[in-house]
């Protein structure tokens, strides 16, 4: 999600303030199974946003492992305050695809390499008092979304 925010904002506008948005850190706050095929996770993302407030909505996508559909994810709307450095909480719900079970995923976890994961991501980005744009990203390396992730609170 952190790099996703940066990419989305740069696609949204050519304004220099939007290019200066940066993600300082991403901390996984919680991960919990939800039944046999789903996981709920909470992230805290520290974002420096010198531009106007941004609202990300209709966030969803598909995650692939080694080219095979691993599962689907969605997130409720997320607001990134403008002209500030702030902690933004993001909740994500992920559901495994038909060919994977949670037990299978857990047994594979030790051998999974981050570079084998990619994602197709879709969202709507709205600048406060301004334009709104639907963004679709395909084949995004999942590893790039979490380069500054902290696992200390799991």
DSSP string for residues in the chain:
-HHHHHHHHHHH---HHHHT-EEEEEEEEEEEE-SSSEEEEEEEEEEEE-S--EEEEEEEEEEEETTEEEEEEEE--EEE-SSEEEEEEEEEEEEE-TT--HHHHHHHGGG--GGGEEEEEEEEEEETTS-EEEEEEEEEEHHHHTTTEE-TT-
Task: Write out the CATH class of domain 2-150.
Answer: mainly beta
Instruction: Calculate mean pLDDT across residues 98-109.
Output: 74
Question: Average of pLDDT values for 100-128?
Answer: 80
- Percent of residues, the chain, with pLDDT higher than 90: 33
Name the residue ranges covered by the structural domains of the chain. 2-150
Tens-place pLDDT, residues 18-30: 677 777 777 888 9
pTM of the model: 0.74
């Amino acid at each position: 999600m952190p790099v996703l925010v940066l990419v989305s904002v740069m696609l949204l506008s050519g304004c220099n303030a939007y290019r200066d948005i940066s993600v300082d850190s991403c901390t996984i706050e919680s991960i919990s199974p939800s039944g046999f095929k789903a996981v709920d996770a909470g992230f805290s993302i520290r974002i420096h946003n010198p531009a106007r407030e941004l609202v990300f909505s209709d966030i969803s996508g598909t995650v692939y492992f080694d080219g095979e559909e691993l599962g689907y994810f969605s997130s409720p709307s997320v607001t990134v305050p403008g002209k500030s450095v702030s902690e933004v909480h993001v909740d994500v719900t992920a559901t495994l695809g038909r060919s994977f079970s949670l037990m299978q995923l857990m047994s594979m976890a030790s051998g999974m390499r981050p570079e084998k994961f990619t994602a197709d991501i879709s969202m709507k980005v709205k600048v406060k008092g301004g334009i709104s744009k639907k963004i679709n990203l395909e084949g995004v390396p999942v590893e790039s979304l979490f380069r500054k992730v902290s696992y200390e609170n799991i």
